[in-house]
Chains A and B, each alone.
Chain A
């Protein structure tokens, strides 16, 4: 009995792995191996073109102690967290509007929201530079309307510009998951809560918000994790005050010829991001139960 039972499970395993092994091995070779390699490299030293493979923690010590790296880490986290907060905060009412107030037009609204994001990310971020610049669209528009007498300079080349561009650039990644979680809420629950005496505001905080929490948490992670490592946005609209860790990784890797330090910076940011994400998920664990 036991043997034959194992046999049928075994065939499922064989059939499954026969298909999955190809993409899995591909990911092992192109993701796991490079990450491991980067991890190893972060403990080595590079002197121009020669690589010293003796184990050292110097790169990590440098990453942790040098003020410039600490500044870049904290700035990247702050920018990313702020952008995540604003993106989610703006996306929630939008998703709520589509899910609860659009009736038949849901698909149309979702379509309308995604269209602007069919422009490449690179060009969209560049357009923010065009909008916010000294001779840019916004300044020229305001001058034309005679609302200002000379162009304002505080718009571009700072951390705020990066936050603004990111809040714009990642909007659909917040709207869609939140929308999906709102859609999943059984509408009869709302009727039940109303029937049991909830006001619309009670209903929002006692039913809608907790039940859509998985979508909100998902959206926050989907935006936070990649934006910490964003390269394009700070490079285009950040100026020197808005540069982030990814820009430094790139500099260390190419111009400064210090790949081990770049690797250590990459690994450090990966670890910091993972740590914050895990804490964030644990903190919200009670909302992630399956309903």
Chain B
């Protein structure tokens, strides 16, 4: 697959603030690509740079190997779904959807076929003449999608398209968007601050902080092998604890207060080594709690100090190790799962293969 969008070392400042600070990334054809990050990280600015609403201070953006430098939004092969949908309030559904067709020199029949096809695609068949003021949030979202997709853009840009919807509708639209993208085969670039949304929908995710891209990876890689501590704690939850490196080589021997001595392969470690210190990351669901009576020399002693019940999962806070560090543990409340009480002494074990290390 070839690269459809290439962002090359793009910088964009507003006043003294660098909203996008030297970003480079590549998006392949037909990919569902997400820009993920906290608010103010520059993800929306990057999307608007691709759309052409902002002009980079330096760097270049290519779409299909063609530089977009100096090309206005109305001449770019991109279309956008705006955060508030930007449905024209004075036009009805059909007029909104066909807005971009005016200059396309189509016959009346072709036009109405295209309109109906795209309304079918987003599940709004028959609402052609509905006033845009009478649409619900979800329907506006669909009109915005139909309006953009009818122009068959090479890239569809989506600026937090689901943030205005309530939770149920949002989850439904997530899977619909994913199916839609597969059906039309167009490259989607989605901006979101919701990590769950990014993980469930995307082929690839770029995580941004402070105008810079921190990691670009598939959802699974992002979750299981985050490249920095920031990414690790932004995506899901992660326990961090300090460790000391005891040797050098392909497999590091590490001593930690909580885990004692254990081995960590180099490919599970990110960053550049500085000294013997290393930060160890453990996902809460990769820790297993056992009753205190369990006999096994590999288990570690701990004490439950807090419990948060979430229905299908329960979060325990454990106190352990010489320095009484706390660990967060999540357990699935599935069939046969034990319950523990606050103050109860337990023994726990950690899935060593899931441990990640960050040179500090």
Contact = CB atoms under 8 A, between A and B. Distances in A.
Interface of A: 1, 4-5, 8
A193 to B, nearest CB: 33
A8 B11 CA distance: 14
A1 B58 CA distance: 7
A42 to B, nearest CB: 45
Contacts of B58: 1, 4
A1 B11 CA distance: 9
Interface of B: 11, 13, 15, 55, 57-58
Q: Which of B55, B57, B58 has the most CB of A within 10 A?
A: B57
B201 to A, nearest CB: 33
10 contacts: A1-B11, A1-B13, A1-B57, A1-B58, A4-B57, A4-B58, A5-B13, A5-B15, A5-B57, A8-B55
Contacts of B11: 1
Contacts, number: 10
Nearest to A8: B55
Given A1-B13, A1-B58, A4-B58, 7 more contacts: A1-B11, A1-B57, A4-B57, A5-B13, A5-B15, A5-B57, A8-B55
A269 to B, nearest CB: 44
B14 to A, nearest CB: 9
The 3 A-B residue pairs with the shortest CB-CB distance in the complex, in nearest-first order: A4-B57, A1-B57, A5-B13
Contacts of A5: 13, 15, 57
Contacts of B57: 1, 4-5
Contacts of A1: 11, 13, 57-58
Contacts of A8: 55
A4 to B, nearest CB: 5
Nearest to B55: A8
Contacts of B13: 1, 5
Nearest to A3: B57
Nearest to B15: A5
A4 B15 CA distance: 11
B13 to A, nearest CB: 6
A1 B13 CA distance: 9
A4 B55 CA distance: 10
A212 B58 CA distance: 48
A1 B16 CA distance: 11
A5 B13 CA distance: 7
Contacts of B15: 5
A4 B69 CA distance: 14
A1 B14 CA distance: 11
Nearest to A1: B57
A8 B49 CA distance: 14
A153 B11 CA distance: 80
Contacts of B55: 8
A8 B58 CA distance: 13
A1 B15 CA distance: 11
A4 B11 CA distance: 11
Nearest to B18: A1
A57 B11 CA distance: 62
A5 B15 CA distance: 7
B284 to A, nearest CB: 39
A192 B43 CA distance: 39
A5 B57 CA distance: 7
A20 B13 CA distance: 27
Nearest to B54: A8
A26 B13 CA distance: 36
Contacts of A4: 57-58
